[in-house]
Structures are given as C-alpha cells and as structure tokens.
Structure 1
Amino acid sequence: MSQRELVILGTASQVPTKQRNHNGYLLRWDREGLLFDPGEGTQRQMSFAGVAASGITRICITHFHGDHCFGLPGVLGRISLDGALHPVGVYFPASGEVFYERLIDSSAHNRQVELEPHPITDNGELPPPGAGFTLRAARLSHPVETFGYRLDEPDSRRFVPERLRELGLSGPVVGELQRRGEVEIGGRTITLDEVSEDRPGQSFAFVMDTRLCDGVYDLARDVDMLVIESTFVDADEQLAVEYGHLTAGQAARVAAESGVRTLVLTHYSQRYRTLDQHLADARAQFDGEIVVAEDLMRIPLPPRR
C-alpha cells in the first residue's frame, strides 16, 4: 500500500438495508491497513471494494454490539486463507474480552494468522504500532463500554529543492546534512533548518456509537479526517440521546468546534431511506468538507496542511 485513503465497507447501524451493509471501514495508510468495526458481511464487502484481507495489519473495535464486530470471524478466516504472514494487532475494550475470545473461536477453523490482542482499559496511547504513527483511544458514552480511536503521524521536516539549489547542495552532502543537522561548505556552516521546512503529520479519528462527551472532542481536535456516526437526523435528537448516539447536526458541530478538515458522516438508522436531511443538518453547522458516506466509497485523506 502506498496511499492514504478510507474505504467505506458499510454504513448501516443496527439493521442493514438493501443499500447499506453493516459497519466496516478500512483505512489504507502506506503499508498499513487498519480495519475499524467489522460488522456482518465485511468480508464480502471487501471483495466488492477490491481490497485484500491480507493487507489488514490492525483491527480496531469500538465496542461489542453485533453491527460492529460480527464480521470479525469471517475477516480473520479470510486473512488465514489468503496466507498473510504478518501478525495482526486487535484493539478492543477490555470489558468485552470474553466476546473477543468467542468471536475469534466461533467455529471449527484452522487459524493461521497470528493475533496480538490489545485490551483497552482507559484513555491513552495504545501499544506502539511501529508504523510511523501513534494510535490512542478515548472513552465514549454508550450503553456498553465504547472507545474511539485516533491516529497521528509525527511532524517532520522536508527539504526545499529551491534552497538546496541556491546553496549548491546535492548528492551525498544532502544525506550528511539530514543525518548530522549541519554541514560545512566552503567555510560556511549550513544547517538543516536553512534548507527545509515543517512537514505536518496527518491525523485521522474514528468516533462511533456515542452521545456527546469529552472523548468525542478529544479525538476530533484539529484532525484531518473525522469519521463519525450520525445515526439520526436532528429532528430525532431525543432518540439519539436515549439510545446513545449522535445526530448529523451534532456530529457537524463537533467538527466545526474542533477544527476538523474533512468530516465523514456514517452509521445511519434504517428508518431513513435517503440521507438528504443528514447533509442539510450537517451543512447548517459546518462549512468545511462534508462526505455523506455510502457503501464502497473511497475517500482520500486531505492533502497535508
């Protein structure tokens, strides 16, 4: 994988429809593939989307309601069948570990994939992913214990070709400058700062099945892409509160108040045949980029700031 994009595998909530499969979201990040909340039918949706299960390196489960985890056995079986040789990290709320164990051994099978379980007990950074980014979790507000996720790439610096040319720097000396932070050319010391500029890291947040709470805002702050549930339209806000969900307008208000660049709405109740009102409610709160997710859609991460 050499690209960064989100592949939408399913956008339904508790009940799938003819147009919407249960949840499933694959974040393709360079050589990593992070699968979020694999609901029932995720394996089949991956075939429709043209993405390979062998590319999955991590699986992140927000909570153990069926529409967010019933696809796990099938996905793991497919990874084994495809002969993936790398271990797969699986992140999930520790309180649901019994469900995790049942799911991964729910049938007679020959599991070949090596799983690295990471039960989550509280907010904070998760075990080092070793992939050039940090991964952390924040507690959300839902009838069962639920965590959202955030991925952050560290800031770095990049060379500015024009400055290198102006100073006559090329070849091995550029590598030396990168390693040491400075080089001496013609009696002059040139520092890395003189020929480079900040390269902000990219960020991604995944918020699913929650009322408004501190964790939502913590995950969303200044993120490049926010994938967030919008189960109900604003007119049904009371139902959202009762069942532990968000409306489209609430999700968009979070994005506006948190400095989000691209807002991706998803996880729609089966009561809505169209999503026009979701977009209208969100647009009333947020004037940035809004994507009303549909099954099998591919959404590139926005360009670096």
Structure 2
Amino acid sequence: MSNRELVVLGTASQAPTRTRNHNGYLLRWDGMGLLFDPGEGTQRQMTFAGVSANDVDHLCITHFHGDHCLGVPGVIHRMSTDRVRAAVHAHYPASGAKFFQHLRYASAYDDSVQLDEHPITRDGTIARGRFGTVRAVRLEHRIEAFGYRLEEPDGRRMLPEELSRLGVRGPDIGRLQREGSVPVGDRRVELSEVSEVRAGQRFAFVMDTRLCDGVFELAAGADMLVIESTFLQQDADLAERYRHLTAAQAGRVAADCGVRCLVLTHFSQRYPDPRRFREEAAEVFGGQVVVAADLDRIPVPPRR
C-alpha cells in the first residue's frame, strides 16, 4: 500500500445520492493523516474504508456549508470513543468559529480528545513539520472559504555513478548526506557533486469556488490536485451563479499549472453519468484524470 494516498470517503455535492456520500477525503502522507471536509456520514464511510479515528492528525475544513462539515460531530465523537491520545489539529475559516463550536458540541459526549483549534484568518502556513508545510489560500465562494496545499521540501537524489567515481562508499555516504561533505583521500567531496535536486511533492485541495487567483496558486506544480467539478460546461451559468467550477475549468487549471494527477469530485446529483466529467476535463488536460468514486484509494504519483 502506498505511503501517500488519497482515501475518498464521499464525492457528492449539496445532495448525497445512492452511490455518493457527502464529502470526505483522507490524505495519508508518510504516517500523517489529513481529513478534509467531513460531510454528513463520514464516520460510517471511514468504517467502510478501513480508516481509524487514530489516522487523523489534522482536520481541515474549507468552509461551513453543510456538505463539507456536518460530519464533524461524529468524527470528533469517534475520536473520543476510541480514546485518541495524540493531539488533533483543527483548521477552519475563523469567520465560522461559531459553527465549529456548535458542531464540536452538538450533543453530550465524553470529551476526551485533545482537539487544538487553529482558526484561519489569512493566507499562509498553518502547519509545519518534517513532512513540510501546509498552507491555506483564500478562494471565492458565497461564504469565506480556503483551499489547502501541502508542500514537501526539496531533497537530493544520490547518483551512484558519481559516488563510485569519487570513491565515496559505505558509511561515508550517510555522513555525506548528513554533513554535506566528507574527506576522501586528499580532498573533500561535496554533496552537490554526487547528487541532484529531488523536487518535493505537492498536494492541493480545492473545494467550492469560482475560478480565481487562489485556485491557480494552490494548483501550481501539484503532483495531485483534488478539485471540485460540480457542473459540466453546459451549465456554466449555474457554476458562475453559485460560485462553483465545471469539469472543463478544472481541466484548464490542471493544464495551466502543470498538474500530474487531476482528481475530480463534488459532483452535482443532476448528472447520472460520471464519464462525462472525465471526457470534458480531458479535452483540455492531457495528464491523468480520475473521476473520484466513494471509497476509492488513489495513490499520489511517484516522485518525478
């Protein structure tokens, strides 16, 4: 199983269907879990997907429309029931703080989880660790909304031919990676001589919004872009009215931003055939297009 994958818990928009639950997406990233936009029914979908409450380290809410947050009470209650011991960090637009409090305390329960709240007031880094950084970027919806972007720092890829040519071997390779240089014979070998830059991976999460600068900022160079495509282009007027995206617009963003894997989701119940979303996006984007379905597990593409 991939150490970096998206577990899809729900893919509907305003109204769930027989085959699509409300939103919910867990990003597994080297042992860390980020749960995005848990809509109604997410706790049950987690059970179907084999996702434990202990898998969630960060709870990230883009905005406070119900299909993106009404699953919060069940998820938090499950964390308490399962006695999650590690701190869980909750990120959400500060303007919706009262809604988060109502969701967090929607009913009586044994509140045993350490849930640290981090209301978002502006664009910028909201979490930092060995994995890199998570940033929030403002979007343009009918209420305040933010998208999220995970950025892994660049590393270096060792070049075996150069290591051999310059006589670096055994424990000296690890020392070179840690210290940046090692003595070999009568000279010092620098890390830059025997390695090349390995670009860090990028993940972007874009929900309810119309096209705006924030969408492109989030998607730039993403290895995986998870993006709403509520409407097809035939209903572009509805998309603009309600500040949503079409599949064609999502494809354009992916093409313009150099995305590698485009994951379409948040589908209006008015369209019975999901293949139309793939076809529409693929007309403008030549890379990998995934039309997300509930309980899919989508691996983040391997490093470039």
Fold equivalence (TM over 0.5): yes
Letter in 2 for 1:236: D
Instruction: Name the residue aligned to 2:61.
Output: 61
Alpha-carbon shift at residue 52 of structure 1 (Å): 1.2
Instruction: Name the residue aligned to 2:284.
Output: 285
Cα deviation code 1:243-292 (max 9, x no counterpart): 11111001111111111111000000111111122122111111111000
Show the 5 A alignment for 1:245-260: 245-260=244-259
Letter in 2 for 1:103: L
1:22 counterpart = 2:22: yes
Q: Which moved more, 1:135-144 or 1:273-282?
A: 273-282
TM-score of the two chains, using structure 2 as the length reference: 0.97
Alpha-carbon shift at residue 2 of structure 1 (Å): 6.9
List structure 1 runs of 4+ shifted beyond 3 angstroms: 165-168
User: Is contact 1:2–1:29 with CA below 8 Å preserved after alignment?
Assistant: no
Instruction: Name the residue aligned to 2:132.
Output: 133
Instruction: Name the residue aligned to 1:119.
Output: 119
What stretches of structure 2 of length at least 5 have no aligned partner? none
Alpha-carbon shift at residue 90 of structure 1 (Å): 0.6
Secondary structure at the aligned position of 1:129 is classed as strand
Alpha-carbon shift at residue 106 of structure 1 (Å): 0.7
Alpha-carbon shift at residue 122 of structure 1 (Å): 1.2
Alpha-carbon shift at residue 164 of structure 1 (Å): 2.5
Using the alignment, how far apart are the partners of 2:170 and 2:77 within structure 1?
48
What stretches of structure 1 of length at least 5 have no aligned partner? none
User: Is contact 1:61–1:91 with CA below 8 Å preserved after alignment?
Assistant: yes
Using the alignment, how far apart are the partners of 1:131 and 1:96 within structure 2?
29
CA spacing shift, 1:115–1:2, aligned 2, 3 Å:
farther
CA spacing shift, 1:228–1:11, aligned 2, 3 Å:
same
Secondary structure at the aligned position of 2:176 is classed as helix
Show the 5 A alignment for 1:1-305: 3-126=3-126, 128-305=127-304
Q: Sequence identity, in percent?
A: 60
Letter in 2 for 1:295: D
Secondary structure at the aligned position of 2:111 is classed as coil
User: Is contact 1:32–1:131 with CA below 8 Å preserved after alignment?
Assistant: no
User: Is contact 2:136–2:148 with CA below 8 Å preserved after alignment?
Assistant: yes
Q: Which moved more, 1:169-178 or 1:50-59?
A: 169-178
How many residue pairs end up in the alignment? 304
User: Is contact 1:2–1:31 with CA below 8 Å preserved after alignment?
Assistant: no
Letter in 1 for 2:8: I
Using the alignment, how far apart are the partners of 1:211 and 1:100 within structure 2?
24
Using the alignment, how far apart are the partners of 1:163 and 1:112 within structure 2?
54
Cα RMSD, aligned residues only: 1.3
Alpha-carbon shift at residue 294 of structure 1 (Å): 0.5
Secondary structure at the aligned position of 2:272 is classed as coil
Using the alignment, how far apart are the partners of 1:179 and 1:203 within structure 2?
24
Letter in 2 for 1:150: R
Using the alignment, how far apart are the partners of 2:215 and 2:150 within structure 1?
14
Alpha-carbon shift at residue 303 of structure 1 (Å): 1.1
Using the alignment, how far apart are the partners of 1:81 and 1:108 within structure 2?
12
